[in-house]
Amino acid sequence: MHTQRMAIFKWLRIAITFFGLVSCARADTNTAMATTRISLQDAKNLAFLHNWDLLAACSGVAMADAQRIVTEEFPNPTFGFSTAKINTANRGNGTPSGNDVWDRSYDNIFAVNQLLEIGKRGPRQDAAKAGLTAARASFADARRTLDAGMTKAYVAAVLAEANAKVLDESSGYLRKEAEIAQIQFNAGDKSQSDLDRIELAAQQDELNALSAKAAAIQQRIAVQMLLGERHPTGEWIANDTVEDLANLLPEPKAKENAKRPDLIAAEATLSQSDANLRLQKAMRIPDPTLSLQYEHNPPDMPNTVGIGITIPLPFWNQNGGAIQAAKEARDQAERSVEQTKAQIDFDIATARAAYDEALTRWRYYRDKLRPKSATVRQTVFLAYEKGGASLVDLLEAQRDDNTIRLAAAQAAADTATASAALYSALNKISCEMEDL
């Protein structure tokens, strides 16, 4: 039990050290997030410490290491004691030496038995080592997917806030125009219908802004769930904008040389299944049990020793079913390796296409459509205030500007998410297996 606890502590310490988070205090994240502005990197650092799935993967490494330790241990000997020749016919068991327990003619046998494994220890240890490698790779893959998942959740929260801001600003513009229209209405220059339409448009934007704010709270709660929060409330403030996030990572260029950890895990599982197949084949060889015994049976032969051997006879069962199952498991693991390789190529291809499209769209909105839309909106607003534009022109300009700004924010968010997905597919953010 002590060894298992030490193994768990060891892997938890390795995980924290690996991610460079030793200096991070393991304070309650509810308190941290409720009182500070949180950047994407801050959120990732907290997730690497508190995320449930990552901690479970870390425990999996500790358990796999404990299993490796088990395979290095020898089977314990067994001790046996038996007493026979106890007279039940009232004749007694006394001898010339006396009638105490040790001098009676009881047949007392003390035996020590030791099982000897033949051809099984090596495959069992190989399987455990491969299992440890697979657990380490699964831990690294959990970190890789958590990194991308946290980016996606954080970007979604920031995008919802950006949408709310756009709609708040839009309603503010329309409220300002409604005030001007009220003055013009009082002077007889505007109709009641014009004033009502502006107010309705402002109210609609306000309601849409409330909906976007509610969505932002939901997305912030989703982020807190990834952080391992016990009582998520969504009460934290993002420190990044969608524009910041779109430009956060440099453009990925090429595939990393290092294998992705999910492929390492699949290959380790294949090695483990190979070792298990060898182990099941070795199980056909009987394992002898050696016995050493001491016998005390006075008076004629009071103290004797003996040796013995016990061997199972594989007449009826030659482990055929277990061998067949191990073969099927090995074939399945081999297919899993090929499937993982194909999945990696698929992830890279789709992530690259998504990133290129999102980046192109974001740059076009940022450099052309958004500045042009803002200019058109401002021009129409000024013209409307001077009587040079109709109410329809005003509302259309505001609606078009909202559409462009919301689409630009969505493009920036898509770029940030696609960039993180491409980095993850390329294994740009990776764990070095030898450090675990």
Tens of pLDDT, residues 35-49: 478 889 999 999 999
**Cβ-proximal residues to 156 (8 Å cutoff; 6+ apart), any chain:** 219, 222, 413
| Domain encompassing residue 181 | 2-75+117-284+319-435
Under DSSP, is residue 374 helix (H, G, I), strand (E, B) or coil? helix
Q: Is residue 101 part of a domain?
A: no
Comparing C-alpha atoms, which of 408, 398, 399 is closest to residue 242?
A: 408
- 300 is a domain residue: no
Ramachandran assignment for 142, one of left (phi > 0), alpha (psi -120 to 50 degrees), beta (any other): alpha
Q: Does residue 97 lie within any of the structural domains?
A: no
- Cis ω on the peptide bond leading into residue 299 (within 30° of 0)? yes
- What CATH number does residue 401 fall under? 1.20.1600.10
* pLDDT at site 253: 63
Which one, of 240, 291, 296, 242, lies nearest residue 100 by Cα? 296
Is there a domain that residue 303 lies in? Answer: no
Q: What is the pLDDT of residue 254?
A: 55
Position 224 in a domain: yes
Task: Indicate whether 248 belongs to any domain.
Answer: yes
Residue 369 falls inside a structural domain:
yes
How far apart are alpha carbons 108 and 106 in whole angstroms? 6
Domain count of the chain? Answer: 1
Q: Considering the entire predicted model, what is its pTM?
A: 0.78
Cross-strand pairs, 308: 291
What type of residue is 44?
K
The ranges of the chain with pLDDT < 50 are: 1-32, 34-35, 430-436
**Cβ proximity of 87 and 79 under 8 Å:** no
Q: How many C-beta atoms lie closer than 10 Å to residue 249's C-beta?
A: 17
- Give 187-190 contacts, CB < 8 A, sequence gap 24+: 189/387
Sheet with 78-84, edge to edge strand ranges: 78-84, 107-115, 289-297, 301-310
